[in-house]
C-alpha cells in the first residue's frame, strides 16, 4: 500500500510567508497592538478589494454579523430569517444580537436560502434576511433582494465563506445593506487567529459598528451605548494586509482545482453528485459532493489517506442550542446534511493530489453502486 496522505488543508504560510513574517516584525517593533495604523490601513484596503465604501475590523465573523444587526437596531422581539445549512455561528449571531432566528429551507441545487421558503417565513416581526453565501457561492440575491424591498426588510450578507465572490457580477457584501466576513484561519483569507470585518457602503452604519465594537465609546471613557469588545488587533490586521494581495491568485487557483474536480468526477455520477455551479462568481471555499453512501465513501477515502470533512453534519434548527427558536422543519437541508462531503481543496493543493482524490472517488463510486 502507498503511504499517501492528502490532508484536508494546510495552514502554514507558503508564498506569503516572508510578507507575513515581515508584518509581524513591524507590529512588534512599533509597540502598538490595538486599534492602530494596521487596522486603519487594512480597513481601507479590504473595503477597496471587496468593492465597498467602508470596512470595520472586528474580532471574528460571528461578531461581524451580530454587530451589523445591532447597528441596524435589530434585537429583542425581532426575527431574522436565515438558513438551516451553515456554520451554526450564522444563527448564533442572531441570538447574540437578542433577536430570534427563523429558518427557511434551502434550494436543493444551490444549497442556499430558497427565496420561496423565505417568502413563507416572513411575518410581522421579521426585520431582516441573513443569506449565507455557502461554500463560496452567492445565494440567490436577486430574488432575496426583491422580497426584501417588497417587505421593507434589511438584507445582511454572511460572506464568511465568500471573499471576492460575486453574484451576477456584483461583489457579495455590497448587495445587501452590509456584509460580514470572517478571517478564521481556514477561510479563503485567513488570519493567524480569530478576526473578522464588516463591509458596507452605508457610512452611518459603519460608524455605528465602529462604535459598538469598542464598548460603545464615542470618546475615550465615554460610553454612549452598551457596546462590546470586539476589536480586530494590530497583529492580525498586519497579517491580513500581507495576505490580501495574494487573494485573487488563490481564488483563481481554487476555481481551477474545482474545474479539475468537476471534469474528473463526472465519471462517478450518479453515485456521487456535484452541486451545480450556479454563478461564475463562485470562489470555492469548499468543494462539496453528495453521496447517498457517504459514510462508506468517507471511510474508504480515509483508508486511502485522503482526509474529508462534512460541512455540516447537523442542520442548525436541530442543534440543542437553538431548540427554543421557532421550530422549523427543513427537509431539504436535513437530507443534504446526510449526503454532503467536502473534498480537499485549498490553493496549495497540487494537480496531482487533486487527480488522486478524484481517481479514488471514481473507483470507490463504482464500488458503492455495485
Ligand atoms: C466561519 C463562519 C462564521 C463564523 O465566523 P467566525 O470568524 O468563526 O466567528 C459564520 N458564518 C459562516 C458561514 C462561516 O463559515
Residue-wise pLDDT for 240-297, tens only, equals 999 999 999 999 999 999 999 999 999 999 999 998 899 999 999 999 999 999 999 9
The CATH number given to whatever domain includes residue 320 is 3.90.1150.10
Nearest atom, ligand 1, residue 134 CA:
13
Q: Are residues 103 and 223 in the same domain?
A: yes
Rg of the chain (C-alpha set): 21
CA 113 / ligand 1 centre spacing (Å): 17
pLDDT beyond 50 at 369: no
pLDDT at 364: 66
Closest CA to 78 of 186, 154, 136: 154
**What 3 state SS string does 177-190 have?**
CEEEEECCCCCCCC
Looking at the structure, tell me whether residues 197 and 261 fall in a common domain. Answer: no
State whether 156 and 97 are in the same domain.
Answer: yes
Query: Which one, of 365, 356, 305, lies nearest residue 4 by Cα?
Result: 305
Domain final position from 245, 270, 303: 245
The tally of domains found in the chain comes to 2
* In a shared domain, residues 96 and 223: yes
Domain range for 220: 17-245
Boundary (domain end) residue, out of 227, 245, 263? 245
- Ligand 1 centroid, distance to 106 Cα (angstroms): 18
Q: Is 369 inside any structural domain?
A: no
Rounded distance from Cα 195 to ligand 1 centre (Å): 10
Same domain assignment for residues 157 and 258: no
Q: Does residue 120 lie within any of the structural domains?
A: yes
Q: Is residue 8 part of a domain?
A: no
At residue 295, the pLDDT reads 98
Q: Rounded to whole angstroms, how far apart are CA atoms 310 and 350?
A: 22
pLDDT at 276: 87
Q: Cα 305 to the chain's mean position, in Å?
A: 27
- Alpha-carbon distance of 119 to 132, in angstroms, equals 16
Percent of the chain with pLDDT over 70: 97
Same domain, 151 and 93: yes
> Confidence class of residue 359 from pLDDT cuts 50, 70 and 90?
very high
Angle between helices 17-30 and 234-243 (to 10 degrees): 150
Position 323 scores a pLDDT of 85
Q: Check residue 325 and give its pLDDT.
A: 79
State the average pLDDT over residues 219-243: 97
Q: Are residues 23 and 165 in the same domain?
A: yes
**Statement: residue 327 has pLDDT above 80:** no
Residues 159 and 307 in one domain: no
Same domain, 68 and 133: yes
The neighbour count for residue 119, using CB atoms within 10 Å, is 16
**Site residues for ligand 1, CB cut-off 6 Å:** 60-62, 86-87, 89-90, 132, 158, 160-161, 182, 184, 194, 196
- Specify the long-range contacts of residues 345-348, CB closer than 8 Å, at least 24 apart: 345/9, 345/254, 345/257, 345/258, 345/261, 345/284, 345/286, 345/287, 346/9, 346/10, 346/254, 347/14, 347/249, 347/250, 347/253, 347/254, 348/9, 348/10, 348/14
39 and 164, same domain (yes or no): yes
Which ligand 1 atom minimizes the distance to the CA of 195? 7
Cβ 343 vs Cβ 6: under 8 Å = no
How far is ligand 1, taken at its centre, from the CA of residue 299, in Å? 27
Residue with cell 431548540: 323
- Does 159 share its domain with 293? no
We report the CATH number of the domain holding residue 214 as 3.40.640.10
Domain contains 7: no
Q: What are 186-204's pLDDT values in tens digits?
A: 999 999 999 999 999 999 9
* pLDDT above 50: residue 370: no
d(CA 28, CA 34): 12
Note whether residue 12 is domain-resident.
Answer: no
* Domain co-membership, 110 together with 257: no
Amino acid at each position: 500500500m502507498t503511504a499517501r496522505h492528502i490532508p484536508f488543508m494546510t495552514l502554514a504560510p507558503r508564498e506569503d510567508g516572508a510578507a507575513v513574517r515581515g508584518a509581524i516584525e513591524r507590529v512588534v517593533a512599533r509597540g502598538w497592538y490595538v486599534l492602530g495604523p494596521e487596522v486603519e490601513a487594512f480597513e481601507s484596503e479590504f473595503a477597496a478589494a471587496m468593492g465597498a465604501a467602508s470596512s470595520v475590523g472586528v474580532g471574528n465573523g460571528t461578531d461581524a454579523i451580530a454587530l451589523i444587526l445591532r447597528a441596524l437596531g435589530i434585537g429583542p422581539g425581532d426575527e431574522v430569517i436565515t438558513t438551516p445549512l451553515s456554520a451554526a455561528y450564522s444563527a448564533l449571531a442572531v441570538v447574540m444580537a437578542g433577536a430570534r432566528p427563523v429558518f427557511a429551507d434551502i434550494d436543493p441545487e444551490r444549497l442556499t436560502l430558497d427565496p420561496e421558503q423565505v417568502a413563507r417565513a416572513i411575518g410581522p416581526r421579521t426585520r431582516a434576511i441573513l443569506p449565507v453565501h455557502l461554500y463560496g457561492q452567492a445565494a440567490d440575491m436577486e430574488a432575496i433582494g426583491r422580497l426584501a424591498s417588497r417587505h421593507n426588510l434589511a438584507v445582511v450578507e454572511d460572506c464568511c465563506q465568500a471573499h471576492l465572490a460575486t453574484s451576477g457580477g456584483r461583489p457579495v457584501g455590497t448587495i445587501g445593506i452590509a456584509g460580514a466576513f470572517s478571517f478564521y484561519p481556514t477561510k479563503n483569507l485567513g488570519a493567524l487567529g480569530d478576526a473578522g470585518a464588516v463591509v458596507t457602503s452605508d457610512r452611518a452604519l459603519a460608524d455605528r459598528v465602529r462604535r459598538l465594537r469598542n464598548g460603545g465609546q464615542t470618546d475615550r471613557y465615554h460610553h454612549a451605548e452598551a457596546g462590546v469588545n470586539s476589536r480586530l488587533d494590530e497583529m492580525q490586521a498586519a497579517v491580513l494586509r500581507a495576505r490580501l494581495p495574494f487573494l485573487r491568485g488563490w481564488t483563481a487557483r481554487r476555481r481551477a482545482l474545482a474545474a479539475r474536480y468537476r471534469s474528473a468526477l463526472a465519471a462517478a455520477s450518479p453515485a456521487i453528485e456535484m452541486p451545480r455551479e450556479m454563478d461564475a462568481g463562485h470562489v470555492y471555499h469548499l468543494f462539496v459532493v453528495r453521496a447517498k453512501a457517504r459514510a462508506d465513501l468517507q471511510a474508504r477515502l480515509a483508508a486511502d489517506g485522503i482526509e474529508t470533512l462534512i460541512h455540516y453534519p447537523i442542520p442548525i434548527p436541530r442543534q440543542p442550542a437553538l431548540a427554543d427558536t421557532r421550530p422549523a422543519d427543513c427537509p431539504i437541508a436535513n437530507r443534504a446534511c446526510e449526503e454532503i462531503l467536502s473534498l480537499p481543496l485549498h490553493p496549495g493543493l497540487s494537480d496531482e493530489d487533486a487527480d488522486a482524490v478524484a481517481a479514488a472517488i471514481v473507483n470507490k463510486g463504482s464500488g458503492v453502486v455495485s
